Amino acid sequence: MSVDIFKPIQMGKEIFHPKSYDENSFVMDWSIEAGGSVPPHVHHHMDEHFLITKGEITFQVNGEKITKKPGEDFFVPKGIAHAVNNAVKGQSCITVTYSPCADTHRMFQILATLDIENPGSMINLMKYFYLVPKLGLKEFSSIHPPFIMSMMGGIVSVFGKIAGWDKLIAKFK
């Protein structure tokens, strides 16, 4: 499958722009509009390093809120639950590095392909989460606490079966 995984992908208030990857890391620029946030989640397979390039970002880790400004960085080791929030009225931008890559490139390959057919749709992300176990991929992240991820996984699984998403498995093998 040949798709440009280095093109920007917009989902809601976020734009993801992959820059490079190899087995050791995946690097992307990520912009978040005012009010954009990512709920508590965990990366089980990779560390996450953030470098703030514009605006302010508030991280929440272990109940503590930490705000970072341009030029500052923040590191979250794998296995640590964290949340991210745009702390300013305008757009905030971050360079994010995941180490190791841990199938992150496959996530963007799938999302870039789905984005061609259905640009900017959050359903594309649901389809990705539906495909992860079926393709044997390392999951990018899981929602925290775990029981919420379990419930979401069940909902996505049932919805995906009904919607006929199994036809996507062959497309992404």
**Domain map of the chain by residue range?**
9-99, 104-172
Instruction: Indicate the pTM of the whole model.
Output: 0.92
Sign of CA dihedral 42, 44, 45, 48: positive
Beta carbons of 61 and 98 less than 8 angstroms apart? no
| pLDDT over 70 (residue 25) | yes
Beta carbons of 91 and 34 less than 8 angstroms apart? yes
Q: Which helix (H) or strand (E) holds 106?
A: helix 104-117
Average pLDDT on 6-29 reads: 96
Give the chain's count of helices (H) and strands (E): 4, 11
pLDDT digits (tens, 9 = 90+) for 146-160: 888 889 889 999 999
Average pLDDT on 128-150 reads: 90
Rounded CA gap, 150 and 85, in Å? Answer: 24
**CATH entry, 9-99, from 3.40.50.300, 3.65.10.10, 1.10.3730.10, 2.60.120.10:** 2.60.120.10
Could you tell me whether strands 9-11 and 142-143 are parallel, antiparallel, or unpaired per DSSP bridges?
A: unpaired
pLDDT digits (tens, 9 = 90+) for 62-94: 889 999 999 999 999 999 999 999 988 999 999
| pLDDT over 80 (residue 2) | no
